[in-house]
Amino acid sequence: MKRKLRILALAGCAALALHAVMGSGAAQVANPQVISSRISSFPLAEGSPLTFVGGLKLTSEDGRFGGISGLRLSDNGSRIDMVTDEANWMTAEVQRNTGGAATGISNLRIKCLCKTDGTPYGGKHWGDSEALEISGSTAYVGFERLNRINAYDLGENRLPGKPRTISPPFKPLRIAYNEGLESIALAPKASPVAGKFVAIAEHSPNASGDHRAFIVDQKNIREFSIKASDEFWVTDATFLENGDLVILERRFGWSIGLDMRIRRFDGSKIAPGATLDGEVLMQASLTDGIDNMEGISAWTNGRGQTVLSVISDDNFKSFQRTILLEFVLNEKGQS
């Protein structure tokens, strides 16, 4: 069984490269529906700071559904916003049971993250949207390759309007072309960089071999770093309310298969020139039931608990899955 799963993981690795040059050929439907299958268990190490709440396997007849690379959930978890790596925006409502576990997704709406003239980018060079942040009625989307952060006003039915680039140029920083901005997160009030974005490159290491990270506002980009280890690359990031930074990481290769990891960092140490190292909250492999996990979001449930939601990018491939997994972060003083 493990050998079969390893083969699937390696096929997924090949798909990641293949998808970079091939489109999904997405067939659109007028009123797309999401079919949800419950995931009721997930293995965690004894003493883990996380408790598994539940998960969903998600499919849709709409060919644009998939390739999810950025994720945000509203507090109380009733709404989910996503971006795909083919420059599409998706928003939907989440149904939950009395225990807080997601039971289904409804009222899915999809719209192109288009150019200012309303037409699609037509390729990855301009349209590789990889990260998402929400503040009020504005969506912020991080793009890889031509690295930038675009802002979109969310209008009727929570659909995005025209883009406006709010970040200074990243080009002088010489970030790797297809291993650039993979995550953006807006720092909360408790952070020393409150109101600014933290953006992290997927795999564009600095001279020390660590992940390059950036503090970004509309005028300046200041660099710091995230300690790299064990061949993991960064796929997304989110802030906790207290200012701590949580990142999602992925590792894959011919000899090691496919793994994910979640780490937490002391947000008070974020500063230009700093190098942050953090606590591993969890690590999992394909044999545990993960897929190509690319998006993470922290939100607060009705009990006041912090929930971490993670979602996978299926690369629009039939042998991969779109899965949503959710975990409560067990903090001192919470029940």
The continuous run of DSSP H or E covering 282 comes out as: strand 279-285
**Residue 219 confidence (pLDDT) above 80:** yes
Q: Could you tell me the pTM of the whole model? A: 0.91
The continuous run of DSSP H or E covering 105 comes out as: strand 102-112
CA 71 to chain centre: 5
Q: What is the pLDDT of residues 122-154, one digit of tens each?
A: 999 999 999 999 999 999 999 999 999 999 999
Are the C-beta atoms of 305 and 255 separated by less than 8 Å?
Answer: no
Are the C-beta atoms of 56 and 39 separated by less than 8 Å?
Answer: yes
Domain spans of the chain? 2-329
Region of poorest pLDDT, from 7-11, 35-39, 58-62, 109-113: 7-11
The pLDDT of residue 1:
39
Q: What is the pLDDT of residues 149-178, one digit of tens each?
A: 999 999 989 999 999 999 999 999 999 888
The continuous run of DSSP H or E covering 321 comes out as: none
Amino acid at 223: E
CA-closest candidate to residue 71, choices 331, 316, 323, 294? 294
The total of other beta-carbon atoms located within 10 Å of residue 20's CB is 13
Cα angle: 268, vertex 216, 19; to 5 degrees = 110
End-to-end CA distance of the chain: 38
Are the C-beta atoms of 306 and 241 separated by less than 8 Å?
Answer: yes
The pLDDT of residue 309:
99
Rounded Cα–Cα distance for residues 329 and 98 (Å): 18
Are the C-beta atoms of 237 and 213 separated by less than 8 Å?
Answer: no
The model's confidence at residue 24, banded by pLDDT at 50, 70 and 90, is very low
Domain 2-329 architecture: 5 Propeller (2.115)
CA-closest candidate to residue 75, choices 298, 311, 262? 298
Are the C-beta atoms of 162 and 154 separated by less than 8 Å?
Answer: no
Amino acid at 118: G
Rounded Cα–Cα distance for residues 191 and 71 (Å): 21
The pLDDT of residue 25:
52
**Residue 45, class by beta-carbon neighbours within 10 Å (0-12 exposed, 13-18 middle, 19+ buried)?**
exposed
At 258, list the tokens: 């496919």
At 299, list the tokens: 């939100």
Are the C-beta atoms of 115 and 163 separated by less than 8 Å?
Answer: yes
* Phi and psi, residue 3, nearest 5°: -65, -40
Mean pLDDT of 84-90: 97
